[in-house]
Structure 1
Amino acid sequence: MKKLVNNPIKAVDEMIEGYVKAYPNYIKTVGENLRALVTAKETKENKVGVIIGGGAGHEPGFMGYIGTGFADGVPVGNIFASPPPDPILDITKEIDKGAGVIYLYGNYQGDIMNFGMAADLADLEADIRVETVRVTDDVVSAPKDRLEERRGIAGSFFVYKAAGAAADLGYSLDHVVRIANKANDSTRSMGVGLSPCSLPQTGEPSFELADHEMEIGLGVHGEPGLYKGEIRPAESIVNELMEHILADMPISRGEKVAVLVNGLGSTPQMELYIMFRSVAKILEDQGIIIYRSYVGNYLTSLEMGGCSVSLMKLDDELTTMIDHPADCAMFVQK
């Protein structure tokens, strides 16, 4: 599987160097720590600091969402691997404005361990209060009675967006945490994989799929889904994804949602819009109102083929968070 890299071992660091050089008005490193990225813009005193993050390979997540109205900092791990505690702690100290810091990340054991260590160190070394919200939007990764075990996938975009808006509005840390948890509780996602990706270090496919196969419920790192089967028309795939999402999400006719159809890296925009067309038809038939739509690559898996569908049920408070302006290198909302 071909890659435009130099030394595969240095691919993540060279990507970050290129990103910082491309967008110096948005992003900078903390000192010499290349894996600790923060906003290049001034932030207000007594603003809650927002840190999102995880492994590389999900671009534009996560560093593409550093900016006004979104995240203040992102620690970058190796590909599909949690960042270590050091860059998380460096960012925490750099962005703290006296109101505390919130950590937001997908529900994966490596992230839980390393962000947890950084939170303890922030308290011990700098007396910074840190609170954590883990995203658990993937409906097929655990049953409804074990929500805390679910993975975080592309619906994390909505959770990060809501928390970033709340912090930008000047809300307290407790208030930001409450909104982030509410956003997570209101978001459901499910994906389909069509082809694997490959890590630069190995050049080998991350999982096996025959040319005629798809995998329903695949995780964002290639974790196993519900089943592998023959590829079907987009409408049929969407019907299955939406059946699972809507069965898991308490929502009624007349309520409104934000919708994300997220590409996993190599799926053309044409196909994502075809998928969105079917999502919109199902919601229209059920009397559910699409308030905002996002279609494109928001949280990828290198060059994996496929996509995911995410819905966030909106009330007035979450609508305010979703509507709030954001200005990042890879995401702008006015």
Structure 2
Amino acid sequence: MKKLINDVPDVVTESLAGFGRAHADIVRVSQDPKFVARADGPVSGKVGLVSGGGSGHEPLHAGFVGRGMLDAAVPGEVFTSPTPIPIVEATKAADGGAGVLHIVKNYTGDVLNFETAADLVGAEGIQVRSVVTNDDVAVQDSLYTAGRRGVAGTVLVEKIAGAAAERGDDLDAVTAVAERVNANVRSIGLALTDGTVPHAGQPGFVLPEDEIEFGVGIHGEPGRERIKLEPADRLVDRMMEAVLGDLPFASGDQVLLFVNGMGGTPLSELYILFRRAAEILDERGITLSRSLVGSYVTSLEMQGASISVLKLDDELTALWDAPVHTAALRWGL
């Protein structure tokens, strides 16, 4: 295993320390317990947004803390759910008196620990709502979930719900927007190689040179099937067939197309995938209204990518376009 680390137990602590120094104008970092919050937070009278999960998916979630998106994020150890106490403290740090929305990816540990934290802060008088993201069409259940997994579509939920909170919507309205985004986004991923968790010291799975994992999860969970490696266009055809047929998407729809890298995929290859996905939308009479390309929900150094498609309406489009200032997403300011 070759990694640019010191001691394995210090990976998350030292990474957070570096993140906090690099983006001190946007965030403040707590190490005990571990969470990241807006440097200017809590914002009085604004609904707070909190998300979190295991580390190893950077910039998710800490990279999305800032104006127009999250108010706090809670990183667990690598690929390990955060425990309730840091979630409690992050929720308090995000509470500006208008309540807090938890955005939780659908993994059993995340869901249970965020539920426990919500109960604890609720007993202290903080009103909490929760939206569980489940955009992955690859599988219905896995060892990690009851139902579909929350994957890259979570970024779109955080951005759009964050904009709703920033414009002054109340807790019920922000929750409704987050639920609407989650209901209208679908994702699927594939992997050519797996990442190496530092404490494991070896990849979670090893694929033959001529095979890929189709429908892989963001922790390297098995997907729909292992298939032979094909040209990029054919793989995108498979991915878009799975995504577009699930909602379903139809001619006349306006959509946001998000091609996400898993950590070890060059941007040049992501644009090859985006090019073919956009062609498929054109062929089906679906309007490509907004786009995002880059590595935003990673799986350590996994070589692979995911495609997410979000059905837009005028309000969701305006909220996507609204100003955002975080370490990973910045526009309109």
Q: Same fold (TM over 0.5)?
A: yes
The one-letter code of the counterpart of 2:157 is V
Distance 1:43 1:96 in 2: 6
Partner of 2:96: 97
Partner of 2:267: 269
Report the CA distance between 1:250 and its aligned residue: 2.5
Matches within 5 A, 1:249-288: 249-288=247-286
Report the CA distance between 1:34 and its aligned residue: 5.1
- Asked if the contact 2:258/2:293 (under 8 Å) is kept, the reply is yes
Distance 1:272 1:196 in 2: 17
Partner of 1:193: 191
The one-letter code of the counterpart of 1:19 is F
1:120 aligns with 2:119: yes
The one-letter code of the counterpart of 2:51 is I
1:294 to 279, 292, 295: 292
Partner of 1:12: 12
Partner of 2:26: 26
- Asked if the contact 1:265/1:297 (under 8 Å) is kept, the reply is yes
Distance 1:10 1:44 in 2: 32
- Asked if the contact 1:16/1:34 (under 8 Å) is kept, the reply is no
Distance 1:289 1:27 in 2: 36
The one-letter code of the counterpart of 2:63 is G
Q: What secondary structure, in the 3-state scheme, does the structure 2 residue paired with 1:164 have?
A: helix
Moved over 4 A (4+): none
TM-score (norm. length: structure 2): 0.96
The one-letter code of the counterpart of 2:106 is N
Report the CA distance between 1:97 and its aligned residue: 1.1
- Asked if the contact 1:136/1:148 (under 8 Å) is kept, the reply is no
Q: How many equivalent residue pairs?
A: 329
Report the CA distance between 1:240 and its aligned residue: 0.4
Partner of 1:106: 105
The one-letter code of the counterpart of 1:93 is K
CA shift in 2, pair 1:248/1:148, >3 Å: farther
- Asked if the contact 2:41/2:93 (under 8 Å) is kept, the reply is no
Report the CA distance between 1:237 and its aligned residue: 0.2
Report the CA distance between 1:249 and its aligned residue: 1.8
Partner of 1:3: 3
The one-letter code of the counterpart of 2:117 is A
Q: What secondary structure, in the 3-state scheme, does the structure 2 residue paired with 1:195 have?
A: coil
Distance 2:43 2:84 in 1: 25
Q: What secondary structure, in the 3-state scheme, does the structure 2 residue paired with 1:304 have?
A: coil
1:74 aligns with 2:73: yes
1:268-316, Cα deviation, whole Å (9 max, x unpaired): 0010000000000000111111111111101000000100000000011
Q: What secondary structure, in the 3-state scheme, does the structure 2 residue paired with 1:103 have?
A: strand
Q: Which moved more, 1:67-76 or 1:316-325?
A: 316-325
- Asked if the contact 2:46/2:97 (under 8 Å) is kept, the reply is yes
TM-score (norm. length: structure 1): 0.96
Distance 2:54 2:71 in 1: 17
Distance 1:181 1:67 in 2: 21
Distance 1:254 1:214 in 2: 33
- Gapped regions of structure 1 (runs ≥ 5): none
- Asked if the contact 1:136/1:184 (under 8 Å) is kept, the reply is yes
Partner of 1:211: 209
1:223 to 221, 225, 228: 221
Q: What secondary structure, in the 3-state scheme, does the structure 1 residue paired with 2:82 have?
A: coil
Report the CA distance between 1:318 and its aligned residue: 1.1
Q: Which moved more, 1:97-106 or 1:250-259?
A: 250-259
- Asked if the contact 2:17/2:29 (under 8 Å) is kept, the reply is no
- Asked if the contact 1:326/1:333 (under 8 Å) is kept, the reply is yes
Partner of 1:241: 239
Distance 1:175 1:228 in 2: 42
1:204-225, Cα deviation, whole Å (9 max, x unpaired): 1111211211011011111110
Report the CA distance between 1:266 and its aligned residue: 0.4
Partner of 2:86: 87
Q: Which moved more, 1:244-253 or 1:168-177?
A: 244-253
Report the CA distance between 1:251 and its aligned residue: 2.4
The one-letter code of the counterpart of 2:71 is D
